[in-house]
Amino acid sequence: LTCERYGLRRLPFSRLSRDDVAFFQGLLPGRACTDPEELQACNVDWLRSVRGCSELLLKPKTAAEVSQVLRYCHERNLAVSPQGGNTGLVGGSVPVFDEIILSTALMNQIVSFDPVSGKYHRHTVHRGGTFFWGISLQQDVCVPGILVCQAGCILEQLNEYLEERGFIMPLDLGAKGSCHIGGNVATNAGGLRLLRYGSLRGTVLGLEVVLADGTVLDCLASLRKDNTGYDLKQLFIGSEGTLGVITAISILCPQKPKAVNLAFLGCQDFSRVQEAFTTCRTMLGEILSAYEFMDEKCMELVEKHLGLSNPVRGTRADNSQSIHLIYSPSLSGSPFYVLIETSGSNSTHDEEKLNSFLEQAMTSGLVTDGTVAVDDKKIKARTRLIGIPLIFVPQTLWSLRERITEALTHDGCVYKYDVSLPVGKLYDLVTDMRARLGQSAKNVVGYGHLGDGNLHLNITAESYSHSLLDAIEPFVYEWTARYNGSISAEHGLGFKKKQFIQYSKPNEAVFLMQRFKAMLDPKGILNPYKTLPSSP
């Protein structure tokens, strides 16, 4: 279906033979799967919008095994689709035809954690049935630690491992329970902490990558400074499995903030959402760690499909976990909501700053409703935040924002767009799209990482319709290009967006990318049909 829709033809790769399967079963005993049931899950993407028909799933455990797999595939001209947690949103992680799926699921070992300074000792911890060693922190330090791990470690498990040692991962996203750090690096995932800790292009210190011909490229340095030649790892960050298979990562991990506050606020229009951002950036400064926004349609969807409660409307939140008071007795909700997080090292100082911001935002009318979340355990030690109701479980508020993607999948067929735009233009795209589509769409919603100038525009309909797609595309890309935006802010191009790269990159850049691809993967066996258009 996918191929019909996109008018694609299978490239002339070899077909998998019995001898090939026997070779892989010998190389990876018990880890070269041909079971149709297991393959079914790996052949379809998270959104269930792209489906391949691979007949072989390989699960190597080491870079040496990946190297042997790719060397063989290179010689035999067999195409390969690298797969991490399969949570990608642009159809990049599943085969288009019969490509072999190369999964990092069993490459899940932490190699080392170095808190950089402070006393530490080696010890053994248990994660998901495997033992590995790590280092635990004995005293406070003010510098980031350095984690070295295999590509298949699950983001949330890495974060838990680090939190036990007083550190955190520099990125966080709604898919954290499933996505792999290798997949995060391969897509250069942004997420909810980018505003504070920057992109993976800055926090990844080194990579180990296996190239298409099986060469192992060991650039797994853990140095903060290294200007010896070209920074090759950058080529693989965001390359979506088309240039090499990432097998290990060295990454900077910030200290776990001692004080975290969360405010969930209602705004009457988008200009107030923007102004509140400018104000809080000035007033909160270095402690601002997230500024996310969502429109009222998003709120309706998480309420309707996931049963979550709007904490700033006259309905009660989960009584067992929170007290819920209404700052402003609004029963209708707000047109927009913002989620502001502060992370710092001094709770009194941070609360004072947040209080001043809230006071200013409320008295000037930037914000009309609001609630603040604080960690249950710390509540006794805290002063109550100024005149604003408290919710005790920060995750309750984060869920409202993090689970919008999930809520959308329950609303029907989803058309998903992820654009970067000047903040002032961000919501105009949603308004224009709503007007353009009228009744032909079920819902047109806008949310995203406002602090990063990143809008997630999602359109739902009862079922897939080619005419609706034609009404959306290329309009959405032309609109974005008109304001010099990016047609993929953080999800990548994968299978679904590759033919639109020209809206954000000049021909010369696309041509150079194609030359890099041809140099590193001359037979084009790595994730074919993805990321780059096939001809200049």
In angstroms, what is the minimal distance from the CB of 52 to ligand FAD?
12
Closest CA to 351 of 398, 384, 391: 384
Dihedral sign, Cα of residue 517, residue 518, residue 520, residue 522: positive
In angstroms, what is the minimal distance from the CB of 510 to ligand 2HG?
24
Pick from 458, 504, 527, 531 the residue near ligand 2HG by CB under 6 A: 458
456 binds ligand 2HG (CB under 6 A): yes
Residue 488's alpha-carbon distances to 196, 283, 435, in angstroms, are 21, 31, 23
* Rounded Cα–Cα distance for residues 452 and 423 (Å): 8
87 binds ligand FAD (CB under 6 A): yes
From start to end of 152-310, where are the E strands?
Answer: 204-210, 216-219, 245-253, 259-267, 288-295
In angstroms, what is the minimal distance from the CB of 242 to ligand FAD?
7
> How many angstroms from the chain centroid is the CA of residue 482?
26
174 binds ligand 2HG (CB under 6 A): yes
Buried b (16+ CB within 10 A) or exposed e, 49-76: bbbbebbbbbbbbebebbbbbbbebbeb
405 binds ligand 2HG (CB under 6 A): yes
In angstroms, what is the minimal distance from the CB of 178 to ligand FAD?
6
x/- string (CB under 6 A) for ligand FAD, residues 133-152? ------------------x-
- Out of ligand FAD, ligand 2HG, none, what residue 416 binds, judged by CB under 5 to 8 A for its kind, is ligand 2HG
199 binds ligand FAD (CB under 6 A): no
187 binds ligand 2HG (CB under 6 A): no
Q: How many Cβ atoms sit within 10 Å of the Cβ of residue 214?
A: 17
**Given the complex with ligand FAD, which of 24 and 236 has the nearer CB atom?**
236
Residues with Cβ < 8 Å from 307, sequence gap 6 or more?
A: none
Residue nearest to ligand FAD (CB): 183
Pick from 342, 347, 355, 405 the residue near ligand FAD by CB under 6 A: 405
* Rounded Cα–Cα distance for residues 204 and 207 (Å): 8
Q: Count of residues binding ligand FAD (CB under 6 A)?
A: 38
Pick from 39, 58, 70, 189 the residue near ligand FAD by CB under 6 A: 189
DSSP string covering 433-454, please?
A: HHHHHGGGSSEEEEEEEGGGTE
| DSSP element (H, E) containing 384 | none
95 binds ligand FAD (CB under 6 A): no
Closest CA to 426 of 400, 451, 461: 451
Closest CA to 215 of 26, 63, 28: 63
- Out of ligand FAD, ligand 2HG, none, what residue 458 binds, judged by CB under 5 to 8 A for its kind, is ligand 2HG
Within positions 260 to 319, which residues make up the interface with ligand 2HG, using CB under 6 A? Answer: none
- Out of ligand FAD, ligand 2HG, none, what residue 456 binds, judged by CB under 5 to 8 A for its kind, is ligand 2HG
Burial of 306 (0-12, 13-18, 19+ CB in 10 A): middle
104 binds ligand FAD (CB under 6 A): yes
x/- string (CB under 6 A) for ligand 2HG, residues 70-89? -------------------x
From start to end of 4-79, where are the E strands?
Answer: 32-33, 57-58
527 binds ligand FAD (CB under 6 A): yes
Q: What would the two tokens of residue 31 be?
A: 């880890």
**Given the complex with ligand FAD, which of 107 and 137 has the nearer CB atom?**
107
> How many angstroms from the chain centroid is the CA of residue 525?
26
Binding site for ligand FAD (CB under 6 A): 46, 81-89, 92-93, 104, 151, 173-175, 179-180, 182-184, 186-187, 189-191, 240-241, 245-246, 405-406, 490-491, 494, 527, 530
Binding site for ligand 2HG (CB under 6 A): 89, 174, 405, 416, 418, 456, 458
